[in-house]
Structure formats: C-alpha cells, structure tokens
Amino acid sequence: MSGHLAIVGLGPGDTRYLTAEAVEALAAAQALYGYGPYLDRVPVRAHQSRRASDNREERTRAAAALAHAAQGARVAVVSGGDPGVFAMAAAVCEEIESGPASWRALDVSIVPGITAMLAVAAQIGAPLGHDFCALSLSDNLKPWQLIEQRLDAASGAGFVLALYNPVSRARPWQFAAAIERLRRHLPPSTPVVFGRAVGRPDERINVVTLDAADATQADMATLVIVGSRETRVIERPGRSPLVYTSRAATEVSA
Ligand code: SAH
C-alpha cells in the first residue's frame, strides 16, 4: 500500500517552534487534517487540501485521515504541541487497532513537537528539572475519581505535576477541585506556574503559591505546573523570577 500518514506536532504556537522535520512533512502532504485553529497555523499551499474539524472529533478525524491515506494519498494530521501528548497520535493508534486490517499496512510516521509543558518550563526556569509527571485534568475520557487518585499518588510521591487541560467550557469545576486535592498533600508555599498561550502573541506566565492559586487563573490555553517540595523560586532584581526544581531530593514525603 503506497499511502502515507504523518502525525505532525506543530509546537506551542509560533512557527519558530516548528522542527525542520515537521516543516518537511507539512510540505510533502497532499491533504491536511486537523482542528481548525491548528490548521490555520500551516501556510496554505496550492494543490494541498485541508479538512478542518472540531476539537472533540479526534477519532472521527483520525479515521477519515487513515481512510484517505489508504487510498494512496500522502496525508498529514496536525496536532498542537507534540502529537503524542494528549493528542492525535494515540487517537490514530486507537483507530488502527480497531479499524480494517489494511490500515496496519500503511506507512505511519509521528513527527514530534515541543509540548506545552516544555515550552512553559523553558520560559520560567527549570521547574521540571527533577522527577515530574504529566496529567490531563479532562474527564471526558476517564472518570474524575481516577484523576483524583492520580493527583493524590503523584503529589504524595513528590513529583512535580504538569497539568494539561485544566479547564474547558464543559468542565468548569474540575480545576478548583484538583487544587483543593493537591492542598492535602503539599505545603501552602508550593510554587504554581500558570503558563497561558505560550509561544503566541498573547503569552502570559504567572507564578503564585498553592494557597493563592485559584481556578480563575487558568483557561483552556493554560498549562499549570505544580511544584514539589524541592521546587524553589529565585527572585531577581528587575527580572522575572526563576522557578526551578533542584536535582537533589532528600525528603520522603508522608
Ligand atoms: N498535544 C498538546 C497538548 C494538547 S491538550 C501538547 O503537546 O502541548 C491541550 C492542553 O495543552 C491545553 O488545555 C493546555 O493545557 C495545553 N497547551 C497547549 N498549547 C499550549 C500553549 N501554547 N500554552 C500553554 N498551554 C498549552
């Protein structure tokens, strides 16, 4: 089968975050699939079709892209950040696993991108400088109880947390509940970084302490990093603070 499907990470925003491999994969595609605002970031090329779909239609989009590639086309599915982090690469794999056997014969490549947590971390210092984990707070595809369990386990074990999908219109209360949960395990002085629209013109980064963190500080375009007991804030005269997590950890958390 001659079809090809590339799942391409666009990075957090600005084109300077695109890798050379992503630029090549986008230029080589005959058809582009993706969430509208992500597709809008890709320069328009003649003879390249584009099919925009809604954010929530990941499986349908993945199936449509696979079916198109199976006809022998070079197809690219675009994803914000990295396609393997809470994004399209897993949706495509789910479709390949449950779809027609012929999809398993397709040439599939996954082109990595800079994921939001790395872009936010780089803007503020090195909050992910020691052990960390990434969680999506979206309970669209998993029960809220499981998210609470994972918040308890990860914060209790001393991991820094990168929280994706803190808020959406359909999920108004979850982020406040997550903060409440984390306060059971972490000191009030724990640094919390809110990185909004990083890599875009309306980028905004705020650092607060866990006791001052509240849900109004996050929206759909925000990535939240909650520190561990080893995360510190270095205040600097005339410059924004550096937030970092020390590479040395001594304390075993309760
Ligand atoms: N695949 C993407 C994540 C998709 S989940 C990636 O690797 O970055 C969507 C969530 O990612 C958003 O709710 C937000 O938490 C985070 N996010 C995506 N782009 C962002 C950006 N530019 N700045 C801050 N957070 C971002």
Its pTM stands at 0.96
- Candidate from 56, 141, 164 with most ligand 1 atoms within 8 A of CB, to mutate: 164
- What average pLDDT score do residues 84-100 get? 97
Residue 62's pLDDT is what?
96
* Half-sphere exposure of residue 145: CA atoms within 13 angstroms, side-chain side: 0
Output the six-digit token pair for 34: 């993706």
- The verdict on the CB of residue 138 being under 6 Å from ligand 1 is no
Condensed to tens digits (0 to 9), the pLDDT of residues 33-74 reads 999 999 999 988 999 999 999 877 899 999 999 999 999 999
- The verdict on the CB of residue 58 being under 6 Å from ligand 1 is no
At residue 254 the predicted structure's pLDDT band, cuts being 50, 70 and 90, is: low
CB 110 within 8 A of CB 25: no
The pair phi, psi for residue 193, each rounded to 5°, is -105, 125
- Choose among 212, 196, 207, 251: nearest CA to 228: 251
- Candidate from 86, 124, 128 with most ligand 1 atoms within 8 A of CB, to mutate: 86
Mean residue pLDDT across the chain:
95
- The verdict on the CB of residue 243 being under 6 Å from ligand 1 is no
- What average pLDDT score do residues 168-182 get? 94
Residue 1's pLDDT is what?
58
CB 113 within 8 A of CB 81: yes
pLDDT at 92 over 90: yes
Percent of the chain with pLDDT over 90: 91
pLDDT at 136 over 70: yes
Residue 251's pLDDT is what?
67
Taking the C-alpha atoms of residue 247 and residue 92, their distance in angstroms, rounded to an integer, is: 36
Residue 253's pLDDT is what?
57
- What average pLDDT score do residues 227-254 get? 90
CB 141 within 8 A of CB 58: no
Residue 63's pLDDT is what?
96
